[in-house]
Amino acid sequence: MNRYKRLQRCVAWLALPLGILAIVALWRPDVLRSDYVDVPSPSLGAQEERPAIWASSVDEDFRFYALSSTLYRSALPQASDVAELKERGINTVINFYQESDEAWLAGSTMHRIHIPLRADRVTDTDVIAVLRAIREGERHGGVLVHCKHGQNRTGLITAMYRIVYDDWTREEAMAEMLEGGFGVAERMDDAVGYMNRVDVEAVKSAMAEGECSTNPLAWCRLIGWFSSEKIEAVATSGLLQDRPIAESL
């Protein structure tokens, strides 16, 4: 009977974190909805030259641009583009599109990272994970980031890279994102919505401290918290105290 009561207490104690996880799964409080879309005015005049520090065009056919010697961006490449990517020293491909890169990278030795994103609900959790993946990839050579059209999702991520790693201002990063030749600015409203609302300093702080998100209720944080709390609950509930060692293993 005592064991049964201890089990009841353990289950009741776990009900709260389980309930929180269920709510978050439905609500996703770390999502920064792009309902605040205020597209900034163009930063360049009609006759003004493109800034040299902006990403440089490599191949217009699939919006292939170089942000640096180790980071590139593009729309969805084709198998015929693999040779060009290899010539640039690209060893890692990070894909934000829902479909995998298997079709065009079949047989390639490039390291593939698939992080599907939806432009209208990108979270700081997503951004932090991607930025860390890019940085890790750069330690092993060039990195290509891409989605389907090379606009919204790719533009958002590279803008955040500029801010976090290149120390650009939000305005500078958005100017390149919208006026860099990556597509029509009006089709980047989701990226603009995120860029307008994201707490840049909070993202930088979370990355510096090794956190997975800026939001205490982000899914990744709750999963980690729940896992550690569950282990502690079982260990302190007394469920294993009066069981033979062989039975407990």
Does the 62-214 domain belong in CATH 3.20.20.70?
no
Mean pLDDT score, 21-25? 54
How high is the pLDDT of residue 37?
A: 62
189 or 13, which is more confident? Answer: 189
**Percentage of the chain with pLDDT > 70?**
72
Mean pLDDT score, 171-186? 90
**Percentage of the chain with pLDDT > 90?**
60
H or E stretch covering 95: strand 90-95
For residue 27, pLDDT beyond 60:
no
* Angle, alpha carbons 119-97-120 (nearest 5°): 10
Side by side, which strands form the sheet with 90-95?
56-59, 64-66, 71-74, 142-146, 90-95, 111-114
How high is the pLDDT of residue 48?
A: 79
217 or 214, which is more confident? Answer: 214
Cβ neighbours, 10 Å, residue 52: 6
Reported confidence tier of residue 103, pLDDT bands at 50, 70, 90: very high
For residue 244, pLDDT beyond 80:
no
**Beta bridge partners of residue 90, listed in sequence order:** 142
Enumerate the domain spans of the chain: 62-214
For residue 115, pLDDT beyond 60:
yes
Say how far apart CA 213 and CA 126 lie, in whole Å: 8
Q: Is 147 a catalytic residue?
A: yes
Task: Single out the catalytic residue among 120, 166, 189, 220.
Answer: 120
Say how far apart CA 214 and CA 199 lie, in whole Å: 9
Q: Is 220 a catalytic residue?
A: no
For residue 248, pLDDT beyond 80:
no
How high is the pLDDT of residue 219?
A: 78
Q: Is 72 helix (H, G, I), strand (E, B) or coil?
A: strand
How high is the pLDDT of residue 184?
A: 79
Mean pLDDT of the chain: 83
How high is the pLDDT of residue 192?
A: 92
For residue 17, pLDDT beyond 80:
no
* Segment among 126-130, 204-208, 211-215, 241-245 with least mean pLDDT: 241-245
Do 191 and 157 touch, CB atoms closer than 8 A?
A: no
Do 10 and 233 touch, CB atoms closer than 8 A?
A: yes
For residue 205, pLDDT beyond 60:
yes
Task: Single out the catalytic residue among 101, 147, 190, 212.
Answer: 147
Summarize pLDDT for 118-168 with one digit per residue, the tens. Answer: 988 899 999 999 999 999 999 999 999 999 999 999 999 999 999 999 999
How high is the pLDDT of residue 239?
A: 39
* Segment among 30-34, 74-78, 89-93, 188-192 with least mean pLDDT: 30-34
